[in-house]
Amino acid sequence: MTQHAQLPELSPSTDSNLFAVAVEQLDIAANVIGLDDDMRRILSHCQRELTVNFPVEMDDGSVQVFTGYRVQHNASPGPTKGGIRYHESVDLSEIKALAMWMTWKCAVVGLPFGGAKGGVTVNPKQLSGNELQNLTRRFTTDISLLIGPHKDIPAPDVNTNSQIMAWVMDTYSMHVGYAAPAVVTGKPLVLGGSEGRTEATGRGCVFVIEAAARKLDLNLADSVTVVEGFGNAGSISAELMAELGSRVVAVSDSRGGIYNPAGLDLAAVEAHKARTGSVVEFAEADNISNAELLTLPCDVLIPAAMEHQITAENAPCIKARLIAEAANGPTTPEADAILYDRGVFVLPDILANAGGVTVSYFEWVQALQAFPWTLIEVNQRLHKIMDHSFDAVYGTAERYGIHMRTAALVRAIERVAELTRLRGIYP
């Protein structure tokens, strides 16, 4: 078996440019629709940026100070919405970019939310459960002046989950003196979570893959799929593609990837990862690097890991016919241009992974009304929204002769700009 390689982390120099990438994408779309300079200035800035440095008592009695962020990009559409991530690469530029992308993501699927994002610079795998809870509760306390059911609603993101959202909800509820289940989404079902939320990002991604395949005359039942990242979004996407008949030949995680051209037994891969903590060294596949995985021969490539994975360097080598971005920001603007020129059809992140925030919206509505929906209702409504959003973005791409990312941004920016103009500037 070949030696696997570590998934490259975002370097400080790369990460510090992430917000510049987001603004560059905004400018590209703004040029298409002739957006005026005043509105460009408004939309290219985040409305609120909170940085907190907070102490946490560790299990050994020592105290460590962590840095966290909560950023709200634009609240014109309504309360802001966005996940909280725990990762060593988190910095303010990354969180600002992700908050801006959340604004566009909510707008492209027509949700009444603006965009926000939060994060803590930490490797949560080095913390005990008690330390993780202490960190979460103290971080929640420090950002509590910004969040609220009608102000800003956090959700899970990289390295956070339903348990962490339960701690956020409980901490906020203790501050206000009553249970406030609508303050977060992605909660456990028993605390007011939604059916289908765990699978929503991957399911929404596969819904738009199906819609795109119809346009491309791509038979998914006779296709080959590669998935970078085998966390929540990646593993669910892989399983749902396999259910459609696609042969999933490669998956990966932060330690590396595995490849079997005959197809992977995904249940066995899941079991192997549960035992060992990684997909690598799976007996029925060869180890490969994440870099190698991205350029494997396939019909559908699903990047579901971190940002800046598809670049000008590897874009010319990508063999996929269709790329569906289950991750946020995996493709650089330079790579976008190369892929478009090569005829690779890209489903951009703000469309392809909007299933998560869409079902988060469903969860928020259910929590406010204290009226749960069934799984069938959730999935039917999600399918309808994802299909409608794909058709609208595809139509915009055809009308302007642009690739799908710019088309999605055009659709989103037009909506947010209209809302911002109608509300005006106060005072």
| pLDDT digits 0-9 by tens, 212-233 | 999 999 999 999 999 999 988 9
pLDDT average, residue stretch 363-367: 97
pLDDT confidence band for 61 (50 / 70 / 90): very high
Q: Are residues 272 and 293 in the same domain?
A: yes
Q: Are residues 249 and 331 in the same domain?
A: yes
**Domain-embedded: residue 46:** yes
CATH number of the domain that residue 217 is part of? 3.40.50.720
Q: What is the mean pLDDT of the chain?
A: 93
Provide the whole-model pTM: 0.89
End-to-end alpha carbon distance in the chain: 66
Specify the pLDDT at position 97.
93
Q: Output the CA angle 229-233-239, nearest 5 degrees.
A: 90
| Tokens coding 334 | 């330079």
pLDDT at 348 over 60: yes
Separation of alpha carbons 294 and 302, rounded Å: 9
Question: Which of 133, 159, 191 is where one domain is finished?
Answer: 191
Query: What strands lie across the sheet with 224-228, from one edge to the other?
Result: 286-288, 256-259, 247-253, 224-228, 300-303, 322-324, 345-347
Q: Are residues 112 and 149 in the same domain?
A: yes
**Domain-embedded: residue 365:** no
pLDDT at 96 over 60: yes
Q: Are residues 161 and 207 in the same domain?
A: no
Q: Are residues 181 and 164 in the same domain?
A: yes
pLDDT confidence band for 243 (50 / 70 / 90): very high
Query: Catalytic annotation on 117?
Result: yes
Specify the pLDDT at position 25.
86
**Domain-embedded: residue 4:** no
Question: What stretch of H or E contains 153?
Answer: strand 152-156
**Domain-embedded: residue 414:** no
Q: Are residues 147 and 204 in the same domain?
A: no
Q: Are 183 and 168 in contact (CB under 8 A)?
A: yes
Q: Are 333 and 22 in contact (CB under 8 A)?
A: no
pLDDT confidence band for 10 (50 / 70 / 90): very low
Q: Are residues 36 and 130 in the same domain?
A: yes
Question: Which of 307, 334, 352 is where one domain is finished?
Answer: 352
Q: Are 212 and 408 in contact (CB under 8 A)?
A: no
Q: Are residues 265 and 315 in the same domain?
A: yes
**Number of residues in the chain:** 427
**Domain-embedded: residue 347:** yes
| pLDDT digits 0-9 by tens, 244-266 | 999 999 999 989 999 999 999 99
Question: Which of 191, 220, 253 is where one domain is finished?
Answer: 191
**Domain-embedded: residue 121:** yes
Q: Output the CA angle 395-398-401, nearest 5 degrees.
A: 140
Separation of alpha carbons 298 and 293, rounded Å: 10
Q: Are residues 209 and 163 in the same domain?
A: no
**Domain-embedded: residue 235:** yes
> Which one is catalytic: 96, 117, 187, 273?
117
Q: Are residues 169 and 212 in the same domain?
A: no
Number of domains in the chain: 2
Give the residue from 345, 365, 346, 363 showing the smallest Cα distance to 355: 363
**Domain-embedded: residue 424:** no
Q: Are residues 91 and 225 in the same domain?
A: no
Domain enclosing residue 234, as ranges: 200-352
CATH number of the domain that residue 80 is part of? 3.40.50.10860
